[in-house]
Structure 1
Amino acid sequence: MLASNASLSGCAELNSALCAGAGEGHPGGGSLRTTLSPTGHLVVAVCLGFIGAFGLLNNLLVLVLFCRYKMLRSPINLLLINISVSDLLVCVLGTPFSFAASTQGRWLIGAEGCVWYGFANSLCGIVSLISLAVLSYERYSTMITPTEADSSNYRKTSLGILLSWVYSLLWTLPPLFGWSHYGPEGPGTTCSVDWTAKTANNMSYIICLFVFCLIGPFLVIVYCYGKLLYAIKQVSGINASLSRKREQRVLFMVVIMVIFYLLCWMPYGIMALLATFGPPGLVTPEASIIPSVLAKTSTVVNPVIYVFMNKQFYRCFQALLHCEAPRRGSSLKSSSKAATKAVKGVAVTGPRRTDDLLFMVASLGQPAATVPQLDPSCEPTIDLTKAPSSYNQPVVVVSLVAHFEG
């Protein structure tokens, strides 16, 4: 049995300041908190230990690769680094304290430490979520841009990173100034926004947090990647076998991103809503700790999905392991240049390298026979742009940028 009986003796295991808030007098403190059994705390501690260790290792490795290899220092990869930095801060500023609290079965750093923990983890968690949305928008906007992306222009990406931190601060600072508050969560070994308070002040904050920091980023991600998949289908006639492979790969990536986003964050959001709007005691300590642990697993999952499933980073990771220079992706220069000369007037150009990615621009306005086929061994990244203005005949041009790989 994970949960112990609800009693004041259980609450007494927590710091007195926290217990006072849980059992009496704390503004909007809700019902009396119960604690997990020693076995329950041990299970949580083991889970948090693994999450903290692997999250720290994965995100540190991302930063090492970024600093070690210049080919990774591109605007789009800077967004990935921002995600890794926010996840790394969670592993450093949050997970060790909740791990230590779980091993002891009580919160260890007092009421002020609880507020600090809740603020810091909420800030970094929302930065990670907003960065994922900014990343999806950056991929989408690059796809529809009429010109080639400038790999040396960090202005747009820097603004996106600044936006993610400022936006997160806008939603995590209010509890420090009276719009809701930070306090003990679940069995009392973690801290977050107080989900149990039934006041209008707290409930309005929870609704806004759910809509603007969870549902909003999710909708942006689904929309942008949905448009990206649609663009892939538009060029499926250029090279059927290559396009099917590309479409399946990107579809797999998008599905994985969406599924893990939902698995990591939606249970936590649903738990928060049930605790806020449901009857007292609806969300038990053992039920509330599971979504909290799942949310922390995002610090382990994000580097794997967004970085190590990226061919560019993976090549550098292999090079780091073998102490050698990273190999480049396949080049299409010779075959593409020959094809361009052979098909005059068709909007097909040679490859252009942006952010160390290969681009192919192919006209959909020409008969299929006039469009050169690529070497099956080559695997270009495709981008969506307009045809150069120098072409006189009207053509419909679709190209596609897959920043999922390098």
Structure 2
Amino acid sequence: DTKPNCSLGGKAETQSSSSRSLSSTSNRATLGRGGHTVAAVCLGVIFVAGFVCNVAVLLVFARFQSLWTPINLILLNIVVSDVLVCVFGTPFSFAASVYGRWLIGTHGCRWYGFANSLFGIVSLVSFAILSFERYCTILCYSKADISDYRKAWLSIACCWLYSLFWTLPPLFGWSSYGPEGPGTTCSVQWHQHSPGNVSYVICLFIFCLLLPLLLMVFCYSKILIAIRGVSINQTTAQRRETHVMLMVVSMVACYLLCWMPYGIVALIAMFGRAGLIGPTASIIPSILAKSSTVLNPIIYVLFNNQFYRCFMTLIRCGSDPQDHHSLHTLQSSPAAAAAAHQPEDPQEVNATPPGSPGLSDHCDGESAAPQGGNVEKDKQSLVLVVHYSP
């Protein structure tokens, strides 16, 4: 009758393995009181700034109906995922850093790892989809339809399904979620070297980090090349190319700064020798990844003229903008764009988000002055799409 006892003992051991992992991780790699305090301060700032900035973006979207275009729904999807990280992720790691240990147990650790991976991948994939939408609108002879929301909702659904596809397996045996670094955050178990865990980490790095980055670089590179290929007044061209270049560099740099260190450290922990990644080296990438919730809405404000004006109107408690829709059609190439209807003032044109060509929302109540020139229209038609940045 020793057989049932062995079985029960094995089951109990399995159920308590992750609990032992929590305590052993904390004992094996500690930051010290000073390190935990610094991490807590950083996470606290990220939580407050990220929550305030993203809620402000949601308020702007809620107030100004002209922002509700199909492509902007994808931007809204990024904002929602960032807010969910601020609500379901950062507070728990902040509290753990304050106390120097994980506080909500094994199941809470698994939930934290799953939720933060899910929301993070949704944000990354949404960035890639935005870049692809701009690329298709400009270079693939695709006409944007501001009344067709089905494609936007389908893109959002695909983001979440794709993220679920890659974040659910650790809950069912392909790798696992558990404590990482000094034990104050939880994620995929990078330090476990089992074949299943190694294969999962490699797939996660390739399909959820590297491929979205390569797609963004490819699409925005093609867009920049297309803009430079349009003949235009040199001063105006340099000004707008500089703006678009700053937009692209900021987006890609933000992506690399926030997520690439996390992926690289995970790979080093997976394939390097034991103890190569210390507690400090393990906590910094996690903090950088959470900082994306702060940087994303800042980039919205800095590089989208329309959103900036709407945001300033909201801050000043101004009256509701007088929305009007100029329903001219954006063509997909510079040559075809020259035959489009007359564009409005360059600042208003630049404010128009991709996917909503010709939509001109005067959040400050100012009127637009028409401009002329087919060559100028070529340039404006391209900048119209690429100027709106998440």
Q: Which category of TM-score, normalised to the shorter sequence, fits these structures?
A: 0.7 to 0.9
TM value normalised by structure 2: 0.81
Whole-angstrom CA distance in 1 between matches of 2:138 and 2:380 = 9
Answer yes or no: is 1:404 the counterpart of 2:388: yes
| Residues 4-403 of structure 1 aligned to structure 2 (within 5 Å) | 18=18, 20-21=20-21, 33-146=28-141, 148-235=143-230, 237-325=231-319, 347=339, 349-351=341-343, 357-358=357-358, 372=374, 382-383=380-381, 401-403=385-387
Counterpart Cα distance in 2 of 1:147 and 1:177:
41
Once the two structures are TM-superposed, the CA of residue 152 in structure 1 deviates from its matched residue by 1.5
Find the aligned partners of 2:236 and 2:340 in 1 and give their Cα distance. Answer: 17
CA contact (8 A) 1:267 1:291 kept: yes
- Specify which structure has the higher proportion of helix: 2
Q: Is the 8 A contact 2:78 2:123 kept in 1?
A: yes
**Residue type at the aligned position of 1:53:** V
Identity %: 55
Residues 288-322 of structure 1: CA deviation (Å, up to 9, x unaligned) = 00011011100100111134431111100111111
- Unpaired runs of 5+ residues, structure 1, are 1-15, 334-345, 360-369, 385-398
Aligned-pair distance for 1:258? 0.9
**What secondary structure does 2:186 align onto?**
strand
CA distance in 2, matches of 1:299, 1:348: 38
2:248 and 2:232 map into 1 onto residues whose CA distance is: 22
Give the direction of change, closer, same or farther, for the CA distance of 1:216–1:168 in structure 2 (3 Å limit): same
CA change 1:140–1:58 in 2 (3 A) is same
- Following TM superposition, by how much is the alpha carbon of 1:348 offset from its aligned partner in structure 2, in angstroms? 5.8
Structure 1 residue 158: Cα displacement: 1.1
Alpha-carbon distance in structure 2 between the residues aligned to 1:17 and 1:54: 37
* Contact preservation (8 Å) 1:312, 1:405: no
SS at match of 1:401: helix
CA distance in 2, matches of 1:72, 1:119: 31
Per-residue deviation, residues 136-190 of structure 1 (Å, max 9, x unmatched): 1111111135364211211111111111100000000000000000000100010
- AA of the residue aligned to 2:47: G
Question: Aligned residues, how many?
Answer: 345
Distance 1:289 1:93 in 2: 18
Q: Deviation of residue 18 (structure 1)? A: 5.0
CA contact 2:19–2:105 (8 Å) conserved in 1: no
SS in 2 for 1:184: strand
Amino acid of the structure 2 residue aligned with 1:244: Q
- Find the aligned partners of 1:140 and 1:77 in 2 and give their Cα distance: 16
Rounded to whole Å, the distance in 2 between the matches of 1:41 and 1:204 is 32
**Quick one: structure 1 residues 405 and 20, their matched pair in 2 at CA, closer, same or farther if it must change by over 3 Å?**
closer
Q: How many angstroms apart in 2 are the aligned matches of 1:93 and 1:213?
A: 21
2:28 match: secondary structure: coil
RMSD after superposition: 2.9
Distance in 1 between residues matched to 2:322 and 2:379, nearest whole Å: 13
Structure 2 unmatched ranges of 5 or more = 1-15, 328-337, 360-371
Residue pair 1:232, 1:247 contacting (<8 A) in 2 also:
yes
In the alignment, the residues of structure 1 paired with residue 298 and residue 153 of structure 2 have an alpha-carbon distance, to the nearest angstrom, of 23
SS at 2:306's partner residue?
Answer: helix
> What are the Cα deviations for residues 190-227 of structure 1, in whole angstroms up to 9, with x where unaligned?
00000000111100000000000000000010011011
Structure 1's 196 and 147: CA in aligned 2 closer, same or farther, altered over 3 A? closer
Alignment partner, residue 341 of structure 1: none
Q: 1-side partners of 2:309 and 2:205: how far apart?
A: 38
Q: Could you tell me whether the CA contact under 8 Å between 2:136 and 2:142 is conserved in 1?
A: no
Q: TM-score scaled to structure 1, two decimals?
A: 0.78
Query: Residues 251 and 292 (structure 1 numbering): CA distance in 2 closer, same or farther, change over 3 Å?
Result: same
Structure 1 residue 22 displacement after superposition = 5.5
CA displacement, residues 111-152 of structure 1 (integer Å, 9 cap, x when unaligned):
010000000000000000000001111111111353642112
User: Over residues 314-362 of structure 1, what are the superposed CA-to-partner deviations in whole Å (9 max), with x where a residue is unaligned?
Assistant: 1001111112246689x999xxxxxxxxxxxx74642388756549xxx
Q: 1:325 to 1:244 in 2, by over 3 A?
A: farther
Distance 1:53 1:186 in 2: 24
